Every structure is written in structure tokens, then in C-alpha cells.
A and B are shown apart, each in its own frame.
Chain A
Amino acid sequence: MNSFSLLSEAINNRIVMKIHLKIWRQKNQNTKGQLETYTLDDVDAEMSFLEMLDMLNLKLAKQGERPVEFDHDCREGICGQCGVMINGIAHGPLKNTTTCQLHMRSFKDGDTIFVEPFKAKAFPVIRDLKVNRSALDEIIAAGGYISVSTGQAPEANSILVSHEEAESAFDSAACIGCGACVATCKNASAALFTSSKISQLAKLPQGKKESNKRTVDMVNRMEDLGFGHCTNTEACQVECPQDISVLNIAQMNYEYNKAKLVK
């Protein structure tokens, strides 16, 4: 059981830091936002980044000010709901790490940290650090699935998938839909996100049948939603918490060209 009695002892042994924050505050999509400055004197190095924001919000609430709105849910790097720009980097300084998995031990006493929302034309700001990423759902709705209804499936082992195919499909399927790739891209392209789904399904025998239609529909939808074009800067993979490979984009382009040829 997580014991509470020893907590005070831990408090005595901890590393405490002073942190300055410059946080983007914006009332809604239609108003202008600006950076506000806050200082926390009592940040524990073992805290997660979001726990540090909780601490700030507690302080703001007690002072009668509005807490900073930010998105989060699982706090274990899997739901994709969290995500902010930290010192200009999507999800912060650590490679392959979501905002919620970043800990304050990655910062130093006295640091100033800039915290801003994921900015992209297709991600309008809702409030402060919260943005609307429903465009990503729209891309999936355009074709990011195998069209099989409940009850139609054949016996599972009648579809053989080699170990390599399954592992490779999994690598693509690991995307958590956080949108960091879009926020990081100078063109605000959703190519990494979209291609990861297209390649996952194209790599599997059961997904190949629909690949042409799926690819064209998803790519067209992505463009209609206001995402930019991919110019192969590869910045997306660098900041992707799941390390989704840009090779997925190459596969998407291949599938797209193939589909166009068939037509």
C-alpha cells in the first residue's frame, strides 16, 4: 500500500527548484492570446510536468485567478490527449516522450520554461493550452479502417500474418493521435499521422483489399481539412512520442501513386 506516513520524510530529501513559467493564455479562438509570467518556488524534481502545472493551478485558484486550461487524461503516455509546446518543442525536450511523461528532473533550478499550445490552422485554440484536434478524427473517418462489420469476421487463424508483417504493422499502429507531428511541422502537415494508419492497414493482408480507396480518401480529406503539404523535413518523427517512422510517409506516397495509376 502506498504509505502516507513516510511522505514527510521524502519531503525532506527532495530536490526543490524555482521555475519561471511563460504560459500562453488565450480566452478563445476569436481573441488574441499572450504569454503570462508565473513563478513557482517549490517545484520537486520528481514531479511530472503536468503535476507542476497542477501546482500552478492550485496556486492560481487560491488566489482567485483562473487556472490554466490544458488537456490530459491518462498521464501515462498512451491516450494522446496531452501535448503542449515546451520551449518551442512539441512535448518538450525528451525524445519519444509525451508531455505527461516528462518530469521536472529534465529542468534546472532557475529555468524559464515557455509553454504554448500546439499551433496549426487545423487545430483552433479552445482556451489557453487546449486546442481542437478533431480534424484528426475526420481523417480516420474518411477511411482509416477495414470495412468489416461485427459478425462478418472469419476464424482468426485463417488470416495468416507473418511475424515481421505483424511487428511492422504494429510499429505504424502505435500512433497515439496526439498531433505533435502537425504542431512541429512548418507546413502543419498531418502526413505522419495519416500515413501511419494507411501503412498499418496496407501492411496487413486483411487491409490490402481497400488500400487504394482508403489512401485516396484519407489524403484528400487531409487536404480538405486545411493541413499543409509534406515537404520531407522529417521534423515530425523527431518529436513523435511513438517514434513513428517517416518511412510511413513514403509508403503513403507509394500507395497514393499506385491508386492513381489504377484509376
Chain B
Amino acid sequence: MAKEIHATIPEGDLKDKWSNYKAHAKLVSPNNRKKLEVIVVGTGLAGASAAASLAEMGYKIKSFCFQDSPRRAHSVAAQGGVNAMKNYQNDGDSVYRMFYDTLKGGDFRSREANTYRLAECSASLIDQAVAQGVPFGREYSGYLKNRSFGGVQVSRTFYARGQTGQQLLLGAYQALMRQKEQGNVQLYTRHEMLDLVIIDGKAKGIIARNLDTGEIERHGAHAVILATGGFGKIYYLSTLAMGCNASAIWRAYKKGALMANPSWTQVHPTSLPQSGPYQSKLTLMSESLRNDGRIWVPKSKEEQRLPGEIPEEERDYYLERKYPSFGNLAPRDIASRAAKEQIDAGKGVGALKNAVYLDFSDAIKEYGQELIAERYGNLFTMYQKITGIDAYKEPMKISPSAHFSMGGLWVDYDLMTSIPGLFAIGEANFSDHGANRLGANSLLQACVDGYYIAPYTLQNYLADQIQVKKTDVNHPAFTEAEEKVQKQLHHFINQKGTKTAEEFHRELGKILYDKCGLSRSEDGLKIAISQIQNLREDFKTNLLVPGDVEDINSELEKAGRVSDYLELSELMCIDALNRNESCGAHFREEFQTEDGEAKRDDKDFAYSAAWEWSGEVSSPILNKEVLKFEFVQPTQRSYK
């Protein structure tokens, strides 16, 4: 029997909940704050903004990332923009509308209170970023500019050319470096968290490996925040960076933190297609391109002509045809599935027939090449660098690719996991996007979690820790965790098998794309589970990791990440199998409407599945957080 869990949502009307919370949250007096230490793992938008904000308040912060500088966290790669409710365009936007768009975009599978808070706090983020010097796009008058993004009918997206993530991250990174200079933050770059340490039921520290030396280190604190980003890299080919991983959250899961809706992965419709078997990652082309680009495939499977030679009437602008009111701006899950449908039907384009066209010729005719270049110039340049093709002259070829993890560590309204003192923010948690995330909402979520929520909720927790002494890293819990980590690393090295971690990872990625990707079925998922189990068995004895543990060793780093992926992937399949409905990005072939759209089952599945570690990878325990819709009535999502 599944247990029911609750999220400690404050009382009151939707619009009062967060102010009520803040009005009653416990505080720590300024002179006590410097005695309290907080570990923040991750320096992306979520981690850097939380670490900087908490340090500004006076807490002592230890900040970790695996890259060589905090500025390189994968938030840096976000191109398109960040949403915020400013209603600068006077086009009818409001906090409620933004909340509703997000909830509906997520196919009514997120928590009302959290989603509302995201919209409510969004405006402050833009204020903060502008004050930090983020060079957002401006009108000639000097006012901020906006664009529209998939899945909504207002323009609430702010952007800094095609580098919104980079520019927002630099703002947060610079705030972090300012606090480092003031002595409030200790930076641990090139460090990877390999375990969570729990003492008396509370999160008290981490075990980390110094990637430059191989040394295993113990770090204690009064609370731990995980801001370790998404795990879409589990599909091997994805839009994520090579080092993105699930290790921090997975190891926290194995220490008792619940993992929610792990199978909900957003597959982005506009990435570049795979070009060969050696390929290591896929590059995203910002979804903002869909504002001006038209998506189509040839009507005939046999089509051999160049795109420019195919007459209008022999093209199928399938999104415009199927979803007339949203057209090319249909939400991502819908756009990706529609592309897959065309590709599976043999109408894909390109050498591998694995892509669809994204065509700018009409936009260039209407607005001129100069304006299109101003809007998307760097994306066109990037496209040319990667493919060698000039997209001003011929359409881009795009294809769906694994992109964003809606699932992640389960958190309550305070963004605290089921382990007291362990918080999860940004993409690492599961909270705000339901079964599908709207474009430009996740930079927002990472920032709102880090700048505006964690500083309050963490303080509320820390208020009870003032009397608690500094964590002793010689506590047996640290020794035990460290020994476990050491043992695993030596096991990887000592196998001396024949397959590298990368080779295992590629195989896993293929299984997941085929059976737990855009489309899932009971049979497929069952096969996937047994394939993953076999792969995991092989990984136990046949892994090849050259080099040593106590040394710099990239292959060893990969082995740890792949090892966790080989376990998490099974949980993803179990989660997808459990959910006998289709919602958002989770499309179960058995559950679809007559015209092939996702068919939700609100009676049986209006809950978040929060899985609990049982000691065995294959038999997790299901907990349910029932989603109560008090303020909004879920409807059938339609973008037609």
C-alpha cells in the first residue's frame, strides 16, 4: 500500500500563502548567523543565488561545483529567456495568469501553492538581475523588451540576446564572488559530492572528492542544499553538459530522501539532430526560434528534392495544421511528439531522416534578414559552426532531444526534502513544473528558489539549530560514508574489465530513448527494466577504468555518474510503468485520446509519485502526494 505524504502548505487563499509564510517564519538574529554553516552543492542559478543571498545575510557558506569555475554551471547554456510577470506589454498578464499557464502547461500535475509562488516572485528577479547589470534586451526608449515563448499567449519572456542563462548566471556568480571576497563563502571548485552524511536523522554534511587530486574530503554543516541541476544526460545524447549528473540527488535518495516523478523528462523539440555514432551531445537551438520559424516536413516519404525546391502545397506544416491556435508555438511536449510522429512515419529529413525543417524564409521575406539577424544572429552562427550550413539560405534541421528533468528530489513547500536539513532547489527538485515545463520557466524557478525562497525557508529551519554545535567530521557517520565511497571507487578501478563507462552510458541512453522517452508502453518499459538490470550486472564486473583512485581521473568520475544512472534509470521506468495515464511529457501509448493526444486520469493519478529507497534498486516504495486543486479546476489541456 502506498503511503500518503503531505507538503506542509500554509493556510489561506492562494495569493496570501507565501506572505503568510514569511510573516510567521522563524528568524535568526544577525549575530547568530555567522555561527551557522550551510553547504550549497551546485553553483548554477539556483546554487549561486542561494549561496550569495545566504552569505549576504551573514551565514557561513561552503559552495561546491564540479567545473573549474562556478560560472560554468550548465545554467550558462540557456539561450532563450526567462519569464516574469511584469505585464510591461499590457497584454493581459497577471500573477494568476502566469500561475495558470504554468499549471496548465504542466498538465495539472504540480502543486498549486508552489506554482503560484513561482509566478508571484517572478517580478523581483528581473529587478534584481537588472540591478546586477544583466544586459537584457531593450527598446530604443530604454525600457525592457519582451518576447513570447511556447505554450502561452502573452509576452512575458525577458532575454539577453541568445545568452540569457549565461548573463543571469554571471550576475549570480559575481554576487557569489563578492561574498567570497568578503570571507563569507568558501569555494570548492572541481569537487564532486559523492555522499550525504546524516547524523541523528538530520543532514549534516557531505563527502566530496577533490577532482584535481582524488582526495576524499569530509565537510560538515548545519544544513545542506542540493542545487545540482538536471539529469537529462542520463539519455546520453541530450542538451545537457557532459558532466551533468544525478549523483548528488541519487545518493541522497539512497540515504532516505524521496524521489518524485523521476520519469518526467522534457524532450525538447528544437535540438540539432544526431549526425553520427561518435556523437557525444546534442546542441539545443533556442525555442525562441519558433516565434519566427515555421516547422514542416515534405508530404511525401519519397521526397528527394532540396527544401527550397519543394513547392508549398507539397509541404506539411504539421503544427500549424494540427494546432491552429498555437501553431509553431505549441508547448514542447506536443511539438516533440508531433515531430516524432512525422519522423517515425518516414517523413524525416536529412541524411539520417531524423529531423524536421525549421524554416525562416517567410520571416526573412516579411521582416528582412537584418531584423532576423538581430533577433537570432548568434543562434544562426552557432548553427553554421556546428553543421556548416547557412540558415539564412536554407531551413535548419531540428530534432527532439532529452532536455529537462521535471522530476527530482521531492520537496515540501519549504523546498526541504524528506530528510530534515536537506533542501533541494532548482532543477534538482521536482516542484513547480508538473509533467511538462513551459519554456523560460526554469531559469526563473532556479533563481526564485535561490534568491527568494531558500533564504527564508532555510532560516526557518536554522532558527532551531542555533544551539547546535559545529558538526564534527570525525563522527562515525562521516567515517562510514567515506568508507563506502572509497570502497565503491576502488571497486570501479579493480574490475579491469573491457567496457568503459562511456560505452555503458551510450547503451543505457539508447534503451531510455527507445522505451522511456517520448512514448512509453507497458511492454516496452518491462523490457527496458530487464535490459537495464542486465547492463547493471555487466557494469559490476566488466567495467574498465584506467588510472588510480587517489589521482586526477576523468574516467573514474564518469564511472561514478554512470553507476548512479544505471540505478536511477530503472526507477524512471518503474515510475513510468506505475503511471497508467498520459500527462504532459509522459505519454503512455495505452492512454491516448482518439486523435492521439495525452489522456489524463485525474481520478487515479492526480498525485506526485514520491519514491522511497527500500535498500533494493528494483523495489522502491511508492508514496503519494495527492494534488488538491482548491483554486483551479483541471481541464483537458488543449492547444488546438
CB nearest neighbor in A for B88: A157
Interface positions, chain A 14-60, Cβ under 8 Å from B, are 14, 44, 46-48, 50-51, 54-55, 57-58, 60
Verify A47–B386 contact, CB threshold 8 A: no
Verify B354–A81 contact, CB threshold 8 A: no
Task: Kindly identify which residue among A55, A61, A101 contacts B386, using a CB–CB cutoff of 8 Å.
Answer: A101
Binding site for A on B (CB under 8 A): 49, 52-53, 56, 67-72, 74, 76-77, 86, 88, 124, 126-133, 135-144, 160-161, 163, 166-167, 170, 173-175, 177-178, 180-181, 187, 189, 212, 237, 241-243, 273-284, 340, 343-344, 348, 351-354, 382, 385-386, 388, 399-401, 451-452, 455, 498, 500, 502-503, 510, 513, 517-518, 544, 546-547, 552, 554-555
Verify B354–A160 contact, CB threshold 8 A: no
Given contacts A4-B510, A58-B502, A140-B173, 13 further A-B contacts (CB under 8 A): A1-B518, A69-B554, A76-B283, A97-B385, A134-B69, A137-B69, A147-B178, A152-B131, A153-B132, A157-B88, A162-B138, A173-B133, A176-B166
Verify B181–A148 contact, CB threshold 8 A: no
Least distance between B587 CB and chain A CB atoms (Å): 12
**8 A-B residue pairings within 8 Å (CB atoms):** A2-B513, A7-B274, A54-B278, A54-B502, A163-B138, A166-B138, A200-B133, A206-B130
Verify B49–A150 contact, CB threshold 8 A: yes
Q: Does A119 contact B (CB under 8 A)?
A: no
> Please, which residues of chain B bring their CB within 8 A of the CB of A65?
546
> Please, which residues of chain A bring their CB within 8 A of the CB of B400?
1-2
Least distance between B543 CB and chain A CB atoms (Å): 11
Assuming the A-B contacts A146-B131, A156-B86, are A161 and B138 also in contact, with contact meaning beta carbons closer than 8 angstroms in the complex? Answer: yes
> Please, which residues of chain B bring their CB within 8 A of the CB of A97?
385
> Please, which residues of chain B bring their CB within 8 A of the CB of A66?
546-547
Report the separation of the CA atoms of residues A26 and B25 in the bound assembly, to the nearest whole angstrom.
Answer: 54
Assuming the A-B contacts A1-B340, A51-B279, A54-B278, are A148 and B71 also in contact, with contact meaning beta carbons closer than 8 angstroms in the complex? Answer: no
CB nearest neighbor in A for B388: A105
Verify B544–A145 contact, CB threshold 8 A: no
Least distance between A78 CB and chain B CB atoms (Å): 5
Verify A73–B72 contact, CB threshold 8 A: yes
Report the separation of the CA atoms of residues A200 and B163 in the bound assembly, to the nearest whole angstrom.
Answer: 15
4 smallest CB-CB distances across A and B, nearest first, come from A160-B142, A145-B174, A153-B131, A2-B274
Q: Does A107 contact B (CB under 8 A)?
A: no
Report the separation of the CA atoms of residues A133 and B21 in the bound assembly, to the nearest whole angstrom.
Answer: 43
Report the separation of the CA atoms of residues A62 and B544 in the bound assembly, to the nearest whole angstrom.
Answer: 8
Verify A11–B276 contact, CB threshold 8 A: yes
CB nearest neighbor in A for B499: A62
> Please, which residues of chain B bring their CB within 8 A of the CB of A60?
546
Verify B352–A67 contact, CB threshold 8 A: no
Assuming the A-B contacts A74-B76, A134-B68, A153-B127, are A3 and B552 also in contact, with contact meaning beta carbons closer than 8 angstroms in the complex? Answer: no
Q: Does A126 contact B (CB under 8 A)?
A: yes
> Please, which residues of chain A bring their CB within 8 A of the CB of B137?
166
> Please, which residues of chain B bring their CB within 8 A of the CB of A61?
500, 544, 546, 555
> Please, which residues of chain A bring their CB within 8 A of the CB of B552?
69, 126-127, 130
Q: Does A186 contact B (CB under 8 A)?
A: no
Verify B340–A2 contact, CB threshold 8 A: no
Verify B130–A153 contact, CB threshold 8 A: yes
Report the separation of the CA atoms of residues A14 and B351 in the bound assembly, to the nearest whole angstrom.
Answer: 11
Verify A1–B53 contact, CB threshold 8 A: no
CB nearest neighbor in B for A175: B170
Q: Does A113 contact B (CB under 8 A)?
A: no
> Please, which residues of chain A bring their CB within 8 A of the CB of B143?
157, 160
Least distance between A218 CB and chain B CB atoms (Å): 11
Verify A64–B276 contact, CB threshold 8 A: no
Task: Kindly identify which residue among B67, B133, B279, B452 contacts A169, using a CB–CB cutoff of 8 Å.
Answer: B133
Verify A177–B130 contact, CB threshold 8 A: no
Contact with B along A198-211 (1 / 0, CB 8 A): 00110010110000
> Please, which residues of chain A bring their CB within 8 A of the CB of B385?
77, 94, 97, 101
Report the separation of the CA atoms of residues A10 and B382 in the bound assembly, to the nearest whole angstrom.
Answer: 23
> Please, which residues of chain B bring their CB within 8 A of the CB of A64?
546
CB nearest neighbor in B for A144: B174
Interface positions, chain A 156-201, Cβ under 8 Å from B, are 156-157, 159-163, 165-167, 169-170, 173-174, 176-177, 200-201
Least distance between A189 CB and chain B CB atoms (Å): 19
Report the separation of the CA atoms of residues A151 and B544 in the bound assembly, to the nearest whole angstrom.
Answer: 50
Verify A136–B69 contact, CB threshold 8 A: yes
Verify A78–B166 contact, CB threshold 8 A: yes
Report the separation of the CA atoms of residues A142 and B465 in the bound assembly, to the nearest whole angstrom.
Answer: 33
CB nearest neighbor in A for B130: A156
> Please, which residues of chain B bring their CB within 8 A of the CB of A137?
69-71, 177, 187, 189
Report the separation of the CA atoms of residues A146 and B173 in the bound assembly, to the nearest whole angstrom.
Answer: 12
Least distance between B104 CB and chain A CB atoms (Å): 26
> Please, which residues of chain B bring their CB within 8 A of the CB of A76?
77, 281, 283-284, 382
